[in-house]
Structure 1
């Protein structure tokens, strides 16, 4: 294991829509209810809107020292320009609860879901998008006193894919025009946050860990730009970049090579590739330039076999340590996810360190939570 910073963050991540429940003002809630049988419903989710204290205590008691969670825009601004003081106060209580339990709060301001009215204005493709998001960020700043880490937008590259599908122009590759607008929104948010808070500010990018087949280097570079590097360039000058990694894929002359069916694939159909985290960290470090520090804001595996989760996470951490040994500046590791949650239209893929009974909401920590907490207590030691 390479030496990690003394203040290295060991945590787990969640998002509001996937855990809180009854996010009735969001575009995702509406989409779920209009999709018929194509999507399952989030419903009460895990009732973490009311049970966040219990969730945080389980993480802290296990030995973790940080928690990444989000503010739900639809709860804070249910109608354009109409901000909920009660909604803001709720998220301030979450920040304070995390601090009381010894967890460093890493706060995400947008994690896929938006207010319905924002979607009706065109969402991220609309002319009002940047101004609307900037105004929301200005309001959220009032609750961020003392918060050291703020993620403006989660996985903007996947947001660009989602937005293009919403407009009927779906593509499996992020729309760079929408991506550029998201970069603009991020840069505007960074300016506001730097003016009004003392937080370190960045955003998190879904890393593909693409590897070129022989002779496909040019095609791979083109895909990397659309998938990642547009967003890496948008992070230049930030205080950190969030790296989110799960698997790796090869690129040949025709594009990304799909994962073939295999009994070793995860519940999402992805290849079992804990080494992808090292590939992702190295590429992000080089692509951002200016040596922007990295946080692993998401890394995990969808599996019902918790022993496999531990093995995957150990492999991913070994890959992280290898990148650090080569000079990559990594400041923290956040497992996805803290709990088995709503995976954007499906309940089956279980990523969590904590199992949740969706009838009673009883939380049951898995062995993987205790294992990761032990790693944190040992400063990164895997044994």
Structure 2
């Protein structure tokens, strides 16, 4: 998958330099009145060479956790967010017979720093990882909505499920709550295609929700919907309102995804780990988020066990090969890394502090 770099419109470069500027970012979160901060531990930093763990990197991530706790913020830690060490990829990645054992070893290395973390996400969007694996295997250059991609590489999907279970064993033995996060697609029957919709949804979403049964929580990540016809996913209608990613503007995605997830994994608490919009219009960000939260409130009123909401994203970061699709509540200057808090961030902070729309 390292060959993907040549296909991307931009390189990430230094990104937002959150690695060094995390205290400033946490201060912004606290200033806004938000109560939680989700971030990832980078496997490639922790284990840059197979079997060699960096104590300095573990100490770095422990400082971030303590930085959250000192500011009264709930740390939500993700152990794998799409990227893997280069040595892991060159050794066969998730298709290697040793993949699960390697991931388990990494989780064991991280365990000592997770004290005080109430939510540990093992793998972020395994369904996206498995779908992209199939796209890359076919040599395709797919874009658009995730749910319209080819079905997952089933070997990768099975390996990720096994890795998740192995991680949960390690985390559970240490008394930590864990789950994984799903890229919810809101598959809808476009008219007379209910069977096709269900078949489409099973491989791309439902099988991953099935793995979450019995977990301490499941992460819901919703942005838009995908309409399914007799021949599969339909394009976004020409007259539909779109975001910078080309996705349909569809804030109802969040409430619908929460309901869908609750139906398929009854009894498993839900944590909204991602929801947001790619837009250069900050008023539109508020409009979308207000409507999404109204839908979430409706799901809560129905008795669905939702424990929290995390917006994607705090910073205007590198998204799928480009900086063009701005999801951030806070703008970042690409040259100086100066953070600029947007009105939408202050609005969301007010909502979070009051715990009401």
TM-score where L is the length of structure 2:
0.95
Write the distance in 1 (CA, Å) between the matches of 2:212 and 2:123.
11
Name the counterpart of 1:93: 63
Classify the secondary structure of the residue corresponding to 1:335.
coil
Classify the secondary structure of the residue corresponding to 1:67.
strand
Deviation at 1:169, TM superposition (A): 6.6
Deviation at 1:90, TM superposition (A): 0.4
2:84 to 114, 124, 136: 114
Deviation at 1:180, TM superposition (A): 1.7
Matched, 1:339 2:315: yes
Deviation at 1:127, TM superposition (A): 1.5
Deviation at 1:167, TM superposition (A): 3.3
2:245 to 268, 277, 282: 268
Write the distance in 1 (CA, Å) between the matches of 2:105 and 2:43.
11
Deviation at 1:200, TM superposition (A): 1.4
Deviation at 1:199, TM superposition (A): 2.1
Name the counterpart of 2:185: 208
Deviation at 1:260, TM superposition (A): 3.3
Matched, 1:305 2:305: no
1:265-324 CA distance string (max 9 Å, x none): 0000000000011111111111123x1010110000000000000010000000001111
Name the counterpart of 1:172: 150
Name the counterpart of 2:121: 151
Matched, 1:139 2:109: yes
Give unpaired runs (5+ residues) of structure 2. 141-148
Write the distance in 1 (CA, Å) between the matches of 2:240 and 2:326.
17
CA contact (8 A) 1:247 1:270 kept: yes
Name the counterpart of 1:328: 304
1:26-85 CA distance string (max 9 Å, x none): x66x742xx06x431111111110000101110111000100000000000001111100
Name the counterpart of 2:210: 233
Matched, 1:84 2:54: yes
Moved more, 156-165 or 362-371: 156-165
2:326 to 343, 347, 350: 350
CA contact (8 A) 1:75 1:84 kept: yes
1:183-202 CA distance string (max 9 Å, x none): 11101100010012x32100
Q: Across the two proteins, how many residue pairs are aligned to each other?
A: 349
1:378 to 333, 354, 357: 354
Classify the secondary structure of the residue corresponding to 2:311.
strand
Deviation at 1:161, TM superposition (A): 1.4
Give unpaired runs (5+ residues) of structure 1. 1-26
Matches within 5 A, 1:211-222: 211-222=188-199
Deviation at 1:166, TM superposition (A): 3.7
Write the distance in 1 (CA, Å) between the matches of 2:132 and 2:234.
21
4+ residue stretches of structure 1 with deviation over 6 A? none
Q: Which structure ranks higher in relative contact order (CA pairs < 8 Å, sequence separation ≥ 6)?
A: 1
Write the distance in 2 (CA, Å) between the matches of 1:377 and 1:145.
26
TM-score where L is the length of structure 1:
0.88
